[in-house]
Amino acid sequence: MMSFSAGRLQSLSITTGLAWTLSEIARLQGSCKELNRHGERLLQPLADSSRIEGARASCRLDGVTATAEHLRTLVEGKAQPQQGSDSELLGYKQAIRWIHASSSTLVAPSTLKKLHAMALPEDEQAGQWKQEDIDFQELGEGLHRFRPVSARHAPSAVRRLCQAYRQAARQPRFPSLLAQALLVLDFLCISPFPRANGRVSRLLARLTLAKSQIPAGRYVSLEGLIEQSLHKYRSALQSSLAGWHQGEHDLLPWLDFYLKMVHQACLQFQQRMDSALRRPGAKRVLVESAVKALEGEFTRRQLERLCPSVSAEMVRRVLKDLKKEGRVACLGRGPGTRWKKEGDW
For 96-119, the three-class secondary structure string (H helix, E strand, C coil) is HHHHHHCCCCCCCHHHHHHHHHHH
pLDDT of residue 40: 67
DSSP single-letter state for residue 330: E
pLDDT of residue 45: 81
118, 94 contact by CB (below 8 A) = yes
Mean pLDDT of the chain: 88
Reply yes or no on whether the pLDDT at 260 is more than 80.
yes
Which amino acid, residue 269? F
110, 120 contact by CB (below 8 A) = no
Tell me what the mean pLDDT of segment 180-186 comes to: 97
- Beta strands (DSSP E) in the chain are 298-299, 328-330, 338-341
Nearest to 215, CA basis, from 52, 56, 58, 42: 42
Phi and psi at residue 329, to the nearest 5° = -125, 140
Say if strands 298-299 and 338-341 run parallel, antiparallel, or are unpaired: antiparallel
- CB atoms near residue 47 (< 10 Å): 17
How far, CA to CA in Å, does 28 sit from each of 122, 269, 310, 345? 39, 9, 19, 31
All residues at 6 or more sequence positions from 46 whose CB lies less than 8 Å from its CB, including other chains? 219, 220, 269, 272, 276
What sign does the dihedral 154-129-66-101 (CA atoms) show? Answer: negative
pLDDT of residue 149: 96
Task: Give the Cα separation of 126 and 104 in Å (integer).
Answer: 23
Higher-confidence position of 47 and 183 = 183
Task: Give the Cα separation of 228 and 7 in Å (integer).
Answer: 34
Reply yes or no on whether the pLDDT at 279 is more than 60.
yes
Reply yes or no on whether the pLDDT at 71 is more than 90.
no
CA angle at residue 334 from 332 to 337, to 5 degrees?
45
Question: What is this structure's pTM?
Answer: 0.82
Tell me what the mean pLDDT of segment 38-45 comes to: 71
Say if strands 328-330 and 338-341 run parallel, antiparallel, or are unpaired: antiparallel
Reply yes or no on whether the pLDDT at 164 is more than 80.
yes
Is residue 329 classed as helix, strand or coil in its secondary structure? strand
Q: What is the dihedral angle through the alpha carbons of 115, 165, 217, 187, rounded to the nearest 10 degrees?
A: -50
How many residues in the chain?
345
Structural domains in the chain, CATH included, are 5-277 (1.10.3290.10), 282-341 (1.10.10.10)
All residues at 6 or more sequence positions from 262 whose CB lies less than 8 Å from its CB, including other chains? 25, 177, 209, 214, 216, 217
pLDDT of residue 70: 76
Task: Give the Cα separation of 150 and 131 in Å (integer).
Answer: 9
pLDDT of residue 282: 83
pLDDT of residue 28: 87
For 305, half-sphere exposure in the C-beta direction (CA atoms, 13 angstrom radius) is 6
Tell me what the mean pLDDT of segment 226-252 comes to: 94
Task: Give the Cα separation of 255 and 250 in Å (integer).
Answer: 9
Which amino acid, residue 73? T
